[in-house]
Structure 1
């Protein structure tokens, strides 16, 4: 989507705040002993109260309101009877629509007790996303996002999952540009047009290179197996840089 009017930006901010608040509500409720289905139910209730619609369900018939991925699962985890345990690394990915506008956000959370290594990975995963966001602006190179994230990851000994990309969003969950590398890509010569709505969502790892399909047809796993974190915002490109629309109310 390319925003050309203020009411479009306003509509995007409404759904952006809803998905951000949904994710934060789920994160605050996260505790050992609950199932991922119970956590998803908290998200479902929030989305419905906001009169929004789960994008994975509406667009892809996904068997859950949100995607919840635990430990070895790195994306698109199906809410289930899996019990969240102390020490788990849990990724919550929330996307939804309202009044024809879509937004997408996600983050990885540690369930105490935490370890220094995973805490560092989470901190740097969020930093990688922020570095990518800074590259967003009118007429800037689209490949600049992945180039900047790649330099950061390489300097700190991380790898990036190279078949899970950022994407356009706004009037549908996935739209042009359909694949935006969050790793270095010398071949992408596209530029960011003013008003473009897109996600920034690097998958930072300590060894993982690719996302592999699981047996359920949805859940993705790191190959080779390694810890992976993902942080994601929906942003709008402007002449003055990026506007982040997936910020929580408080």
Structure 2
């Protein structure tokens, strides 16, 4: 069942999404060769709690940490550990928080030092596919339109779209209806209506779309061991517009990146 939010609820969800966004901006300064991901996890938990939030992933379905940290061929749900990051790695950090009764859930794939050109291109295409998905979230469109447009763009670039893991609704629960695949057919699925809050999150592989689920019950990797990227924003449909509740601007401020990509979706 899809839960429609009022304006007050949208602002509360935005506060949660912004807290995760600020935390990712803080972590952007800490991601470097030699840094281990368990250290990043500790920093994230402290930051969220110090700002009044409760880590949403910690204990969710028995997940053991605050962050999902997925490096290189890991697609999602990587468990933080003491293994150091290396120059040329990429690392996807996915995090949720509960604040004032509502959830935020944001992900970004970071470069560790300098990365090679093919991996850089994968990150560019994956992030661009995120905004293509967001641009498809117009009132009167359908869930299938989102995935269709993401899939068409990504596959034209020669990459694989993960099928087994999808986006979702967001609110008083971190995973609400509707499910939002990153592939599909136009005109299928639920109609998009005023008051929806959605987490759009393409997971794109450099090679095959096929993935492997590991025995730890969490880690998902690409089947061909090529690298994968993951970006996630929280959006709302309000006043006949599609608006961002989360932001990457805290990350960009930390890294000295200039970007106008979010301007069409400012809340």
- Change over 3 Å in CA distance of 1:29–1:187 after alignment to 2: same
Aligned to 1:167: 168
Q: How far 1:157 moved relative to its partner?
A: 1.3
Residues 72-87 of structure 1: matches in 2 within 5 Å? Answer: 72-87=73-88
Corresponding residue of 1:118: 119
Q: Distance in 1 between matches of 2:89 and 2:235?
A: 29
Write the distance in 2 (CA, Å) between the matches of 1:74 and 1:43: 20
Aligned-pair CA distance for 1:248: 5.2
Distance across 2 between alignment mates of 1:187 and 1:137? 12
Please tell me the root mean square deviation across aligned C-alpha atoms, in Å.
Answer: 1.7
What TM-score does the superposition give when structure 2 sets the normalisation length?
0.88
Segment drifting more, 137-146 vs 97-106: 137-146
* SS of equivalent residue, structure 2 residue 29: helix
Instruction: Report the CA distance shift for 1:8/1:58 in structure 2 as closer, same or farther (over 3 A).
Output: farther
SS of equivalent to 1:9: helix
- State how far apart, in whole Å, the 2-side matches of 1:138 and 1:238 are: 9
Runs of 4+ in 1 over 6 A off after TM superposition: none
Q: Give the match for residue 220 of structure 1.
A: 220
Give, in angstroms, the shift of residue 3 of structure 1: 4.5
Mapped contact 2:69–2:94 kept (Cα < 8 A) = yes
Structure 1 segment 30-49 matched on structure 2, within 5 A:
30-49=31-50
**Partner Cα distance (1:211, 1:24) in 2:** 29
When normalised by structure 1's length, the TM-score is 0.94
| Counterpart secondary structure, 1:12 | helix
How far apart, CA to CA, are the structure 1 residues paired with 2:101 and 2:225?
Answer: 38
Q: Take 1:58 and 1:198, find their aligned partners in 2: how far apart are those partners?
A: 23
Provide the C-alpha distance between the structure 1 equivalents of 2:171 and 2:94, rounded to a whole number of angstroms. 16
- Contact conserved, 1:208 with 1:227, CA < 8 A, in 2? no
- Distance in 2 of aligned mates of 1:208 and 1:50: 40
Please give the alpha-carbon distance, in whole angstroms, between the structure 2 residues aligned to 1:82 and 1:187: 45
Distance 1:25 1:61 in 2: 26
Name stretches of at least 5 consecutive residues in structure 2 with no aligned partner.
251-267
Tell me how far apart the structure 1 counterparts of residues 54 and 82 of structure 2 sit (CA, whole Å). Answer: 23
Tell me how far apart the structure 2 counterparts of residues 35 and 59 of structure 1 sit (CA, whole Å).
23
Query: How far does the alpha carbon of each residue in 1:10-43 deviate from its partner, in whole angstroms, 9 at most, with x for none?
Result: 1111111001111121122101111110011111
1:30-81 deviation per Cα after TM superposition (whole angstroms, max 9, x unaligned): 0111111001111111111111011111532311111111112111011111
TM-superposed CA distance for 1:150, in Å, is 1.2
In structure 2, what is the equivalent of residue 154 of structure 1? 155
Structure-1 separation of matches of 2:78 and 2:196: 28
